[in-house]
C-alpha cells in the first residue's frame, strides 16, 4: 500500500505518530522528495566571508523574497536577454543620473553592448549633462533645511546637493547648442539627443573627461535615446524658450512613436527577439511597451509582443497605475508575448540598489556584445515599418465603421 504524504490537510494524529516513530527509529523524512513543487534548489548558502564578488553574493545569498527576484532578473538578463539575437531597450525614470548611476552603471552597460536603445525622462538626460560639462553634484542629507539651502544657492534632490549655477550653466549650454543650424527643423528626440550628445562629447574632450555623460556615450555607441515627454524637463523648457525667439527646433513625437515601433519590428523580422529592462515605470515604461500595440493594433501588422520583460519598481499593482502594472496584465494589451510570460521578472526594489548589482552581475557573467548601432539604421528600420504597414492595408477603418472606441493605453 502506497505511503500517504504528510499534509496540513491530512489526519493530524496519524501524521504526528508517524513523525514520532521516524524520530525514534532515526529515520530521515524523505516522502516529499519527488514532489513537483520541491524541485527547486535547496536553501543552503555558504557563509558570507567578505571575499565574495557581487555576482557570487547574488547567486549564493539572494535566495528568497525580492532578493530572489533580483537574482532571477540577473539570470534572465545574462542567460537569455544578452544573447546576440536579442535587441534590448532600457527605460529610465527617477533621478538616477544625479545619483551617479549614469557613470557607474548605464555607460558601462552601453559600452559593453548590453543596451541597444533607451527611453528616458528628460530630467535624467538634463542632469546627466552636468557631469559631461565638468559640473559637480555632491552628497548631502535630506535633513538639511531647504530654507537655508535656498539662501545659500544650493539645490537639493533628496540627499544630493548642487550649486544653483549648475542649472544655469547647463541651460546656457543647451541654448547655445540648440541655436546651431543643424537643429533648425523638426526631428525625433533620438536625433535631437544624438546631436546634443556630440556636443557634450566635444566638451568632455576639451575638459579631459571620459565616461561622464550618458548622452555622450550613447552618441559614440550609436544607441538611440528617446524621451517620451520632450517638454517635461529643463531641456524641453529651453527648446520652448528659444521658440519664442524664432528658433525652429522641434521634437516631433510622431517620429518617436514610429521610430521606436520600427526598432522592435526590425528585431523580430530579423528572426531575433525584443527584451525590455524597465527602471521604475511612468511614461518611459508605457512608451517602451506601447511599441507592440502600435505595431499590432494601430498599424495592423501581425506581431505577438515583447519576448523578455525585466522591471525594477517600487510601485504596487493594486493602485491601477502603469508603473506597478505586471507583465501578466501587459499580455492583455498585446505588449508582452503570452508564450514568453515565464521570461518576465519584476523586482520590487529601488533602482539605485538593483541597477548597480545587475550591472556588476552582467559584466561578471557575460562577455561584451558587439554594438548594434541602431541609431545608424533608423531610416532602414523605418522603411521596413512603412512596407509592412502598406502590406497590412495602410489605414484602420473610419471611426463610423468601427463597433467600439479603442481603449486608451496605459
Residues 171, 172, 174: CA angle, nearest 5 degrees = 65
Count the neighbouring beta carbons within 10 Å of the beta carbon of residue 365. Answer: 16
| Partner residues linked to 346 by β-bridges | 311
Residue 317, C-beta contacts closer than 8 angstroms, at least 6 positions apart: 324, 325, 326, 329
Sheet with 225-227, edge to edge strand ranges: 225-227, 117-120, 86-92, 273-279, 308-313, 344-348
**Pairing label, strands 138-139, 186-187:** unpaired
For the chain, how many residues are written? 410
Residue found under cell 508564450: 339
Give the whole-angstrom CA distance, residue 109 versus residue 361: 11
**DSSP class of 405:** P
Q: What number of CA atoms fall less than 13 Å from residue 205's CA on the CB side? A: 9
User: Three-class SS of residue 132?
Assistant: helix
Is there a contact between 228 and 283 (Cβ–Cβ < 8 Å)?
yes
Give the whole-angstrom CA distance, residue 371 versus residue 368: 9
User: Three-class SS of residue 186?
Assistant: strand
Question: Considering only CA atoms, which of 262, 316, 123 is closest in space to residue 329?
Answer: 316
**Pairing label, strands 154-157, 160-163:** antiparallel
- Segment holding 250, helix H or strand E: strand 250-251
**Among residues 195, 273, 285, 335, which one is catalytic?**
335
Is there a contact between 224 and 118 (Cβ–Cβ < 8 Å)?
yes
Judge whether 335 counts as a catalytic residue.
yes
Give the active site residues.
335
Amino acid at each position: 500500500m502506497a505511503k500517504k504524504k504528510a499534509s496540513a490537510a491530512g489526519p493530524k494524529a496519524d501524521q504526528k505518530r508517524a513523525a514520532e516513530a521516524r524520530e525514534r527509529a532515526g529515520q530521515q523524512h524523505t516522502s516529499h522528495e519527488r514532489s513537483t513543487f520541491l524541485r527547486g534548489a535547496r536553501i543552503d548558502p555558504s557563509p558570507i566571508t567578505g571575499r565574495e564578488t557581487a555576482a557570487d553574493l547574488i547567486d549564493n545569498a539572494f535566495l528568497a523574497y525580492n532578493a530572489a527576484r533580483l537574482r532571477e532578473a540577473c539570470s534572465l538578463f545574462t542567460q537569455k536577454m544578452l544573447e546576440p539575437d536579442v535587441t534590448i531597450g532600457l527605460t529610465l525614470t527617477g533621478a538616477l543620473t544625479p545619483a551617479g548611476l549614469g557613470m557607474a552603471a548605464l555607460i558601462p552597460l552601453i559600452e559593453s553592448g548590453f543596451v541597444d536603445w533607451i527611453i528616458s525622462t528628460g530630467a535624467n538626460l538634463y542632469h546627466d549633462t552636468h557631469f559631461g560639462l565638468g559640473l559637480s553634484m555632491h552628497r548631502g542629507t535630506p535633513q538639511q533645511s531647504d530654507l537655508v539651502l535656498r539662501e545659500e544657492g544650493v539645490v537639493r534632490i533628496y540627499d544630493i546637493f548642487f550649486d544653483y549655477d549648475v542649472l544655469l550653466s547647463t541651460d546656457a549650454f543647451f541654448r547655445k547648442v540648440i541655436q546651431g543650424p543643424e537643429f533648425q527643423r523638426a526631428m525625433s528626440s533620438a536625433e535631437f539627443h544624438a546631436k546634443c550628445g556630440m556636443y557634450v562629447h566635444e566638451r568632455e574632450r576639451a575638459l579631459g573627461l571620459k565616461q561622464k555623460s550618458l548622452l555622450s556615450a550613447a552618441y559614440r555607441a550609436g544607441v538611440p535615446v528617446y524621451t517620451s515627454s520632450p517638454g517635461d524637463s529643463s531641456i524641453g523648457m529651453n527648446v520652448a524658450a528659444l521658440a519664442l525667439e524664432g528658433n525652429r527646433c522641434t521634437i516631433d513625437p510622431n517620429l518617436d512613436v514610429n521610430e521606436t515601433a520600427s526598432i522592435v519590428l526590425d528585431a523580430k523580422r530579423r528572426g531575433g527577439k525584443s527584451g525590455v529592462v524597465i527602471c521604475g515605470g511612468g511614461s518611459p515604461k508605457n512608451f517602451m511597451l506601447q511599441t507592440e500595440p502600435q505595431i499590432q493594433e494601430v498599424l495592423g501588422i501581425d506581431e505577438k509582443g515583447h519576448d523578455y520583460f525585466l522591471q525594477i519598481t517600487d510601485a504596487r499593482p493594486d493602485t491601477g497605475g502603469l508603473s506597478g502594472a505586471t507583465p501578466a496584465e501587459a499580455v492583455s494589451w498585446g505588449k508582452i508575448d503570452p508564450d514568453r510570460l515565464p521570461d518576465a521578472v519584476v523586482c520590487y526594489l529601488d533602482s539605485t540598489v538593483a541597477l548597480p548589482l545587475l550591472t556588476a552581475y552582467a559584466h561578471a557573467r557575460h562577455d561584451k556584445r558587439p554594438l548594434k548601432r541602431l541609431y545608424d539604421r533608423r531610416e532602414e528600420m523605418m522603411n521596413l515599418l512603412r512596407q509592412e504597414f502598406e502590406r497590412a492595408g495602410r489605414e484602420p477603418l473610419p471611426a463610423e465603421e468601427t463597433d467600439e472606441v479603442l481603449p486608451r493605453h496605459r
